[in-house]
A and B are shown apart, each in its own frame.
Chain A
Amino acid sequence: DAGVIQSPRHEVTEMGQEVTLRCKPISGHNSLFWYRQTMMRGLELLIYFNNNVPIDDSGMPEDRFSAKMPNASFSTLKIQPSEPRDSAVYFCASSSRLTNTDTQYFGPGTRLTVL
């Protein structure tokens, strides 16, 4: 079975540009999470979706960040405009609550560099 798929794997952009990160969760999973990993703050949850609905976005740093999940197999995290301090690795993870399996499985991550 395919795991969580993220694209792109690497993104280099200039300050002020719009960045869109993409995620395809594991088929059948109904919970999706976006995390950010930095040296300073470690792994932090940005937003959580359940059944395509955003449940907790308290970790989204500011209005420049937005996330959507238009269907069960796709989610995006957008940063507009991007800033150098957004440079980090962004992970998407999914889990299934239908089978009471709360383990989150992570994608390979997107390494974002904002110049």
Chain B
Amino acid sequence: AQKVTQAQTEISVVEKEDVTLDCVYETRDTTYYLFWYKQPPSGELVFLIRRNSFDEQNEISGRYSWNFQKSTSSFNFTITASQVVDSAVYFCALSISGGYNKLIFGAGTRLAVHP
């Protein structure tokens, strides 16, 4: 069975702090995809990143960076120098290749960035 665990329910930081959101996944498949989505207070779900299981390179996009480690089944997301606009719920998700890319979502981590 596939499962995504986001153990941090809520995180509160002060602007300019760095923050890491944890994501641990479970799957027996060797080919899979991992995703992060952002849900700001306005409610929409915004795609942030997609990573396949054969690509363990870390990725950096501006203040965002992702650390994928197959050895620990983790796909963590770090925001550097957080800003108030980063306040949102962040979801990690898993899909299995060969199926129809059904997304299995974690419960989400609510990030509050205070000025």
Contacts and interface: CB of A to CB of B under 8 A. Distances in A.
Interface of A: 31, 33, 42-43, 45, 48, 50, 55-56, 89, 91, 93, 95, 97, 102-109, 111
B64 interface: no
A105 B47 contact: yes
Contacts of A105: 47
A31 B100 contact: yes
Given A102-B33, A103-B50, A89 B43 contact: yes
Given A102-B33, A102-B101, A42 B43 contact: no
Interface of B: 33, 35, 37, 43-47, 50, 91, 95, 97, 100-103, 105, 107-108
Given A42-B107, A42-B108, A43-B91, A104 B101 contact: yes
Contacts of B43: 89, 108-109, 111
Nearest to B97: A102
A43 B47 contact: no
A91 B39 CA distance: 12
A14 B91 CA distance: 32
A106 B44 contact: yes
B4 to A, nearest CB: 10
Contacts of A56: 100, 102
B33 A106 contact: no
Contacts of B50: 102-103
Given A31-B101, A50-B100, A106 B45 contact: yes
Contact of B101 (A89, A95, A111): A95
A18 to B, nearest CB: 24
B2 to A, nearest CB: 12
